[in-house]
Amino acid sequence: MFTDSHCHLYDEYYDNLDNILKISEDNKVNRFINNGCDSKTNKEVLDKVSKYKNMYGTIGIHPEYVDNYTDEDILFIKSNLNNKKIIAIGEIGLDYHYTKENKDKQIELFESQLKLAEASNMPVIIHSREATLDTINTLKKYNVRGVIHSFSGSLETAKQYMKMGFLIGVNGVITFKNANLKDVIKEIPLEHLVLETDSPYLTPEPFRGKQNYPGHILDIAKYVSELKDISLEELSNITNKNLNKLFNI
Ligand code: NI
């Protein structure tokens, strides 16, 4: 059985989550880490992890919401970190894809959550898009560990993250044509690898164009197991072990 280490299972995307989880389990995916992004989805994640036994959650403010978060949203995160089903602060990070103009504000938001993670000894889920250098330099200032979600950088970058104690999250992007990512993932030691769907986004081939869901972990796993020349069972064992160790679950 596999774990989807990063998905966004919100009501706005899935109107029958019970069924989505059931068909995911039929596809050998029996644990779900539901990631919040803003104050609304953080609350939703808290509701859902209390409802579903095999679902864990992360709460955090994504850089995309840098213009609309409040201090209360950060306090809300802080006050819910003692919930046993909340296993990390995330997803948080830096995203310069649409604009770099708010980069100081993004770094400020990122750092406020890294401080929280350091103080509460919580792992972090990192979103970094076109912002590798600033992400690494900011992370270096804090004693934190976690997952680099949806990694798509160079081997050199992966090595820097791994040296800092981070796991590398692989999703459906690995199945896309034209991904240099295949060569990079091939070189990453299994002890640093975790699998994710980032549902409802990034549906793997040959299902692109349809909505993603956690059951597609199996398709990503088949792809990665061939790339790494190991069995699906070995891949599920090692990636679950990596997650259990990081998140203490
Ligand atoms: Ni995500």
Give the SS3 label for residue 113: helix
Cα gap 63→47, rounded to integer Å: 23
Å from CA of 149 to ligand 1 middle: 7
Tokens (6 digits) for 68? 């609309």
pLDDT (0 to 100) of residue 113: 98
- CATH number for position 126: 3.20.20.140
User: Which pLDDT does position 103 carry in this prediction?
Assistant: 97
How far is the centre of ligand 1, averaged over its atoms, from the C-alpha of 228 (Å)? 24
- Provide the phi-psi class of 178: left if phi over 0, else alpha when psi is between -120 and 50, else beta: left
Q: In 10 A of CB 102, how many CB atoms?
A: 16
pLDDT at 208: 94
At position 118, the amino acid (one-letter code) is E
Report the chain (249 residues): mean pLDDT per 10 consecutive residues.
Answer: 98 97 98 98 98 98 96 98 98 97 98 98 98 98 98 97 97 88 96 98 95 98 97 98 97
Short-list 74, 80, 31, 73, CA closest to 58: 80
CA of 233 to the centre of ligand 1 (A): 26
pLDDT of residue 177: 85
pTM: 0.96
- CB burial of 117-135 (b: ≥16 within 10 Å; e: otherwise) equals beeeebbbbbbbbebbebb
Question: What pLDDT shows up at residue 137?
Answer: 98
141: amino acid identity, one letter: K
Q: Of the candidates 236, 176, 226, which has an alpha carbon nearest to the alpha carbon of residue 204?
A: 176
pLDDT of residue 29: 98
CA of 219 to the centre of ligand 1 (A): 18
* Distance from Cα 189 to the centre of ligand 1, integer Å: 23
Domain count, the chain: 1
Q: For residue 211, give its domain range.
A: 2-247
57 forms bridges with which residues in the sheet? 34, 86
Residue 179: CB atoms within 10 A of its CB come to 13
How crowded is residue 190: how many other Cβ atoms within 10 Å of its Cβ?
A: 15
What pLDDT is stored for residue 56 in this prediction?
Answer: 98
CA of 57 to the centre of ligand 1 (A): 12
Cα of 62 from ligand 1 centre, angstroms: 9
Whether cis (ω within 30° of 0) applies to the bond prior to 206 is yes
**Residue 101 neighbours by CB distance under 10 Å:** 9
**108 Cα: distance to centroid of ligand 1 (angstroms):** 20
